[in-house]
Amino acid sequence: MTSDSDDLTWETADSGIDYVCPGFEVRRDEVVLPDGTETDFHYVDEPPAVVVLAFTPDGEVVTVAEWRQAVGRTNRGLPAGTSEPGDADLAATARRELTEETGFEAETIERLDAAEPANGITNSVHHYFVARGCRATGEQRLDFNESIRVELADYDDLLADAVDGNLRDARAKLALFSYELTER
């Protein structure tokens, strides 16, 4: 257990944005380490994100297959996206992202969990939601840089793929494991 007065705490002397691109910024903090050393620390600065574990009325899971340039392959995962300025209600953000990425709308949506996926290199917080009664109601409304195919999956098969390493997307795995441990 740690506290705010922890002897590991770094002091931030200054902070600024070094690079801006769609979806995130790279922030540089000038910091003073506990031993007095002054240095810079860079990290990805991005708004809160949502991840949606969406179930159809038949119990299938709405998944997405999406090209991921950073790993050079199509990735299977769950609908997800970052909040926009003015988004005060993350459940509403989750509904919007589900509809934009998949064309599905949820009857109900509830909070599942929240996590910091890589807090050594980003300040990102992912907020996980479970959506139920999801039905295809319209077309996808993808961002200019999204290439997404919607696929329905059997929950147990998807969970098995997560356990076996055939599903590599960490956001999807965390959603499935959290759901399995707390909801099922």
pLDDT tens digits along 47-64: 999 999 999 999 999 999
Residues 6+ apart with CB under 8 A from 140: 100, 101, 102, 103, 148, 150
pLDDT of residue 3: 55
Same domain flag for 176 and 104: yes
Q: Does residue 1 sit within a domain?
A: no
Q: Does residue 158 sit within a domain?
A: yes
Same domain flag for 133 and 161: yes
Q: Does residue 5 sit within a domain?
A: no
Mode of pairing for the β-strands spanning 126-132 and 60-68 = unpaired
Same domain flag for 41 and 55: no
pLDDT of residue 4: 56
Same domain flag for 155 and 81: yes
pLDDT of residue 86: 87
Low-confidence ranges of the chain (pLDDT < 70): 1-5, 184
pLDDT of residue 114: 97
Q: How many domains does the chain have?
A: 2
Q: Does residue 6 sit within a domain?
A: no
Same domain flag for 30 and 97: no
Bridge partner list, 130: 53, 110
Same domain flag for 41 and 79: no
Looking at residue 99, the DSSP 8-state letter turns out to be H
CATH of the domain at 68: 3.90.79.10
Instruction: Name the residue among 86, 108, 85, 106 with its Cα closest to residue 96.
Output: 106
Query: What distance separates the 2 farthest-apart alpha carbons in the chain?
Result: 59
Same domain flag for 73 and 148: yes
Q: What is the pLDDT of residues 17-42, one digit of tens each?
A: 999 988 899 999 999 999 999 999 99
- 65 and 145 in contact (C-beta within 8 Å)? no
With 0-12 / 13-18 / 19 or more C-beta atoms within 10 angstroms meaning exposed / middle / buried, residue 177 is middle
**Quick one: tokens of 12?**
């931030």
Same domain flag for 67 and 130: yes
Q: Which domain holds residue 142?
A: 49-182
Same domain flag for 120 and 40: no
